[in-house]
Structure 1
Amino acid sequence: MPKTVCIVGAGPSGLVAAKSFLHDSPEGTFDVTIFDAQTRIGGLWPSTKDDGVGLVHPHMIANQSKHTVQFSDLAWEDSDPEFPRAWQVGRYLDRFLHRYCKGAKLRLGRRIAKAEPLADSSAAGWQVESVTHDGDLEEHTFDYLLIASGFFGKPVIPTALASARTQVPVIHSSQYRDLASLVGSTNRNGGKMMVVGGQMSGVEVAGTIASHLSSAMHSPGPSPIPNPDKYSVHHLTQRPVWVFPLYTSPKPTSSAPPFIPSDLSSYNLANRPHPLTNTQGHVTVDAARNLHAIYQTVLGTDQSIFAPAVRVTSKDTDEPPYLAVSDNYMEFVRSGLISVSHGKLESLSGHDATISPRSEPQISDIAAVVLATGFEAASSISFLPRSIRETLSLQSSDLNNTVALAFHGTHHPDVPNLGFVGFYRSPYWGVMEMQARFIAALWNAGGPSSPSLPPAMASALAEDTSIQRTIALRSDPRASQFPMGDYPWLMKEFATALGLERSPPLGAMPMLPPAGKGMDILTPARYPPEAPNEIQQAEITKSLKQTEDAAWNGLTAGKFIARAVFRSFLGEWKLERDLVSKLPSHPSGHFSGIAKFLLREGTKDGRESEFNNDDDSDRGLEYLYIEEGDFKASTGFTFRATRRYVWRYNEPKDRLSVWFAKTDDQTKADYLFHNVEFKVPDQKQEDGWQATAGHLCIDDFYDVNYLFHFEGVSLLEWRLSYTVKGPKKDYTIDGVYSR
């Protein structure tokens, strides 16, 4: 008779658990039923562009690349972006369901209301009650219960704010969708949109709101809210946080640094000492300083170039570092659209917020509040009996929101028929898959105390201190941002217990400093199933090839540099430009002014043929470029001058382009000026990234040259030069842009 398994949750954790029970165990060992309160699979991840019921905005971009956000034996499509949007992650999960979970019974729209052991111990099985939204109650009996409903059980609303009398909307960051739903009904004409919370979600939502505001201000057509230019974002954090863009460079000190997805560098095992040790959990002062130094080297700055409030000072470097990911947050801070202050929100009253400590005691003129205050996990196990919840030791006072579980968050030895997958902070997909494999193997062998355990698993359990470490870290002032453990170490720990080997790269990999070794990028596909079938092996190989191609193309072929340049443009630049004409009809002179790159959502203008009238395809982002200043001719005459263009980045083609603005509506693109073609620099004569372009305007040819100088991940300065020749034109323009 198969052993029956109840899986609570049809998100990534629940689906990969079902797959492990069905495919990583001998056929017929387990009979699996998956329950989810939602009427769709995916958990946090929506599967359509207009899904508004989940905790993640459908258009949110994942902060890890597709090489990390995947399972070992299902590759992404080659056409999918390096960093997929949330709805694309949901679509990936739908493919995973149909590929690997057809043998499971799927009970959607049914919430688990109660789960009780059949006897004094859950070893005898579970009596489970599920209920629909309409109150239809069913009872079920299972041998095993696996909780995969996730760490993000319910948004946390601070007690002081839950009953606050305020005249402004207060929402959790997971509820934010657009400007209109945030402030559209308040009849306000401006003010601060205050974001509270300084970790991952705080930085991400502050950057998202700023992007939406910028787009509302600078896009053609009506704004989604009145007077968007009178709003700003105020981000309240308790400490400085390092903010990484999606793409970073493994050679950040180069003047022409290559770029690859940031996690490919982070998970390059060639730069880690071996054997792998845990770099998370308790962080010593020396370890903290080392990590801060690495982050500063990658970014090329202590962040003071953006604003004093985001600088990571020498005082901060003794403490465990905090990291967030956002492409545009820091440049919006530099531009002033996001202001940052440090402190804790004590109370809200009317349009004012009281802050402690009282270096900035009050923030006034608040239009809305977005709470990036995290989630509580207690509701995800609320259906368990109190005695079992006490055994699991989930405490509301625990800021890390952890459950005391053995072997890296998988089970508790006192409740052997209860398992967990994905119930921890920082849910790397590879670890979820390893947890699922571990639980399937553990239960297939008879449980944590079974004499039938394989030797490697028995040894791993005998030496495991996960429960003690979890409890100790709850009160540890030096606990890391992700206390459970770092990704490579966790993957190694599970692989050792399961007797799995990490597969080698498909071929030779690029050599990188400081180790001077070929890259050894950890992805889930590096730990394939023990005996993959032909279809699985094809997916594994495809996944590995995608990762290795991304590394090679970024490091040797200039891929992603257009993206890095485009991201770095945001904001204002000082522009000094010389014009030297060989014809008296066009005077020489010097232009001095300001150039602004104003971020907005991509428009169809000038490229209508790419989109149908009813096409809602993702058009990415673009800039409205405006330069204004004074041109002083060599004759001594000075006049005010301005130009407008639209700059675009095409992600599928990895191409940067410049478009003329329409003369009758200068917020709209008219037609293509030129595509920017980057040249891979000669490593022996490296002097920044060079690019060229050409444009024939009637009889006049524009020969265009660019030179981009980076410091870390951001542009330090760049040059744009034209040589224009034609029947009536013969001049050169040389402009230098600096912050």
Structure 2
Amino acid sequence: MSKTVCIVGAGPSGLVAAKSLLHDVPRGTFEVTIFDSQPRLGGLWPSRKDDDDGLVHPLMVANQSKHTVQFSDLAWPEDAPELPQAWQVGQYLDRYYKAYCLAAELCLETRVERTERTPSRSWRVWARSKDGSLEERSFDYLLIASGYFGKPAVPGPSVIPEHSQVPVIHSSKYRNLKDLLQEHNPKGGKILVVGGQMSGVEIAGTIATHLSSATHSPGVSPISNPEKYSVHHMIQKPVWVMPMFLSPKANSLVPPFLPLDLASYNLANRPYPLTNTQGHITEESAIRTSSLYETALGTNQFMYSPALAVTQKDHANPQFLAVSDNYTEFVRSGLIAVSQGKLDKLSGREAIISPSREKIDDIAAVVLATGFKASDSISFLPQEELETLSLSPGDLNNTVALAFHGTYHPYIPKLGFVGFYRSQYWGVMEMQARFVTALWNAGGPDSVTLPRSLKQALEKDNSIQRTIALRDDPRASQFPMGDYAWLMQEFAAALDMERLDPLQAMPALSPAGNEMNILTPARYPAKRLNEFQQPEVTKSLKQTEATVWAAMSSAKFVAKAVFRSLLGEWKLERRIVSKLPSHPSGHFSGTAKFLLREGTRDGGEAEFDRVVEEGGDVGMEYLYIEEGDFKADNGFTFRATRRYIWRYNDKKDELSVWFAKTDDQKKADYLFHKVEFAVPKDDNEKSWKATAGHMCIKDYYDVKYDFRFKAVNLMDWNLAYTVNGPQKDYTIDGTYSR
């Protein structure tokens, strides 16, 4: 007879739990019912571009690549972007549900309001449906997959008055400038972002991007006077800000680039067996981590702002990181100002920071990136069970104390958890689901039929004690549950699973010469694979390995890294040597600004429409403005300016430059050239080189680029033209430096 399971939550945690219960044990072992209060499945992840009612903006780009944001046995489509947007993740989950979870009973728009343990230790569940009716049902097991992001955690009225003079929202509710500002202060001011970890950095960078786009895009701005607004970001300590792409060879003068997670999850860089790098952080560990982050970035971040610098005195403290492509350069440009401290009080349009008592005035709106209270996600549990779980509602990182890496409690054996922790790496969610399934299939933690590997894992587990100890630990890490690779190792050992070897030889990294060994969920497939699953595992592995090989053996993603690094202002020195008297020789000295904005359809209208029709992302582009003085060799001096549009096509991994229209210099006119990166010939190369060509009537422009990186950051670069034709014969050599 089947054992009945109630799953609360139809997001990735609930779906992978349902899949494991339905497929990882003999068919019919478990009968699954999934409840979710939303009208769609996916949890945080919307499945449409216009679905913005949830906690995640549908156009938000995931800070992990598709190789990590996936489960082991469902590959992404071949044409999926390396970094999917939230709505694309939602569509992936739709596919996953249809592939594996149709046998489950799915009850959407149905909220679980109350649960109760019966004398037989099974569960009674009361769920309210859309029409308001309350239904009572009984289940053998209860599995919580309702998510860690239960309710926004916001400061009380002593800090933020209930009736504030300016708009105040949580970062999860930010969608656009118009809705945020509500034309509340059309004259401009500071948008105050409170919170300096992942969501704080991300939302500050997003708002700055929207301000930049509103200011520098053609047409009517969505808000009045966008150029009069700025972002003021309040952080409590410096945080390392990683771009979306890192280099596995950060010390190389010609660094290759990979998505952040693929560069980070290279098991060849760690001794085996893996040890946990999270939880309580020793000074030695903190110093080592700080050194790794500084090497990855090539800077301690002082070059952006002293407020962002991770100085020597910070190295011994637990290190925190965030992910954003644009944040640091917006700080350098001044569009984002940074203050260290804690919000003491918002009064009118002024905020006071403690302990410095610094005052931030002229506030136009406040965005609170202050995290979530996970306790609301389990408010339906009985008080007795919450006490058993050592509920601590105020601890946002260690809300409950669970055994074996957040999966169950030995005193409530028929209650399971999947995904109830920060940093919901999908591979760990899948492992948690497998663990709970195996535990229940064996009859529980005290069963005599418990597999040996599972029994040994439970005997040495100290997760509950560790969680409680971390609550008062001043040296607790940013993600205390454990690091991704180590958690995967521990679950695999408990489940007696083997990690698959790469399908082929992988690129080797100097100086040790070890082959790269990238961890993804597909490296840990289920033991029982059917005729559908096996090809999906293989496809996923091939996608990852092809991505790594392309990055390490070609110029893949270099255009992306260059495009990201161009943001902001550069000093420009250019020498022109002409052989014709009609074009004087001389020297230009000035600045070049790369002003970020949303992609426009001008010039490339057909390409724009095609991308939109295919459901793709038109991405971002720059309005390029250079201004300065040209001094001819004959002594004549005049003011000079140029404008171009620089574009990056994510699907083609292609960088292009477009002429600006003469009658509307914010609009692109026609293509100037596409930048073609050259693969380095040998290890003696000192920069990434690229070429381009353009025929202008009868004159040919032969273009050469020279990009010099330090780790992920473009430090300076050269742009040289040789122009030949019946009307032109000159060379231009320009150097751009910060």
TM-score range, shorter chain: over 0.9
Aligned equivalent of 1:20: 20
Structure 1 residue matching 2:315: 3-state secondary structure: helix
Aligned equivalent of 2:520: 523
Q: Aligned letter for 1:356? A: S
Aligned equivalent of 1:646: 645
Distance in 1 of aligned mates of 2:336 and 2:45: 28
Question: Is contact 1:179-1:212 (8 Å) kept?
Answer: yes
Match status 1:253 vs 2:240 = no
Q: Aligned letter for 2:312? A: S
Q: Deviations over 1:466-485 (max 9, x none)?
A: 00000001111111100000
Distance in 2 of aligned mates of 1:512 and 1:715: 22
Give how far 1:681 is off. 1.0
Question: Is contact 1:117-1:125 (8 Å) kept?
Answer: yes
Give how far 1:512 is off. 1.1
Residues 611 and 707 of structure 1: CA distance in aligned 2, closer, same or farther (over 3 Å): closer
Aligned equivalent of 1:193: 191
Distance in 2 of aligned mates of 1:18 and 1:695: 56
Select between 569-578 and 511-520 the one with higher mean Cα deviation.
511-520
Alignment of 1:185-334 (within 5 A): 185-334=183-332
Give how far 1:399 is off. 4.3
Question: Is contact 1:197-1:237 (8 Å) kept?
Answer: yes
Distance in 1 of aligned mates of 2:509 and 2:616: 38
Q: Which of 116, 129, 152 is the matching residue for 1:132?
A: 129
Alignment of 1:86-165 (within 5 A): 86-119=86-119, 124-159=121-156, 160-161=158-159, 163-165=161-163
Question: Is contact 1:719-1:737 (8 Å) kept?
Answer: yes
Distance in 1 of aligned mates of 2:406 and 2:240: 27
Aligned equivalent of 1:717: 716
Q: Which of 551, 554, 562 is the matching residue for 1:554?
A: 551
Give how far 1:161 is off. 3.8
Give how far 1:187 is off. 3.8
Distance in 2 of aligned mates of 1:491 and 1:194: 39
Structure 1 residue matching 2:312: 3-state secondary structure: coil
Alignment of 1:197-596 (within 5 A): 197-358=195-356, 360-596=357-593
Give how far 1:401 is off. 3.7
Aligned equivalent of 1:707: 706
Distance in 2 of aligned mates of 1:561 and 1:402: 42
Distance in 2 of aligned mates of 1:425 and 1:162: 26
Give how far 1:164 is off. 4.2
Q: Deviations over 1:630-671 (max 9, x none)?
A: 000000000000000000000111100000001110100000
Residues 630 and 96 of structure 1: CA distance in aligned 2, closer, same or farther (over 3 Å): same
Give how far 1:608 is off. 1.4
Distance in 2 of aligned mates of 1:185 and 1:701: 50
Match status 1:84 vs 2:67 = no
Give how far 1:612 is off. 4.1
Q: Aligned letter for 1:129? A: W
Structure 2 residue matching 1:14: 3-state secondary structure: helix
Structure 1: state its 5+ residue gaps.
none
Select between 661-670 and 507-516 the one with higher mean Cα deviation.
507-516
Question: Is contact 1:11-1:43 (8 Å) kept?
Answer: yes
Instruction: Give me the TM-score of the superposition, normalised by structure 1.
Output: 0.98
Percent of aligned positions that are identical: 68
Structure 2 residue matching 1:124: 3-state secondary structure: coil
Q: Aligned letter for 1:126? A: W
Distance in 2 of aligned mates of 1:682 and 1:662: 38
Question: Is contact 2:230-2:335 (8 Å) kept?
Answer: yes
Give how far 1:393 is off. 1.1
Question: Is contact 1:17-1:437 (8 Å) kept?
Answer: yes
Question: Is contact 1:164-1:348 (8 Å) kept?
Answer: no
Distance in 2 of aligned mates of 1:241 and 1:683: 36
Residues 562 and 431 of structure 1: CA distance in aligned 2, closer, same or farther (over 3 Å): same
Aligned equivalent of 2:594: 597
Structure 2 residue matching 1:553: 3-state secondary structure: helix
Question: Is contact 1:399-1:474 (8 Å) kept?
Answer: no
Q: Aligned letter for 1:607? A: G
The alignment yields a C-alpha RMSD, in angstroms, of 1.1
Structure 2 residue matching 1:177: 3-state secondary structure: coil
Distance in 2 of aligned mates of 1:623 and 1:218: 9
Q: Aligned letter for 2:201? A: V
Distance in 2 of aligned mates of 1:16 and 1:364: 48
Structure 2 residue matching 1:719: 3-state secondary structure: strand
Instruction: Give me the TM-score of the superposition, normalised by structure 2.
Output: 0.98
Distance in 2 of aligned mates of 1:114 and 1:434: 28
Aligned equivalent of 1:662: 661
Give how far 1:534 is off. 2.0
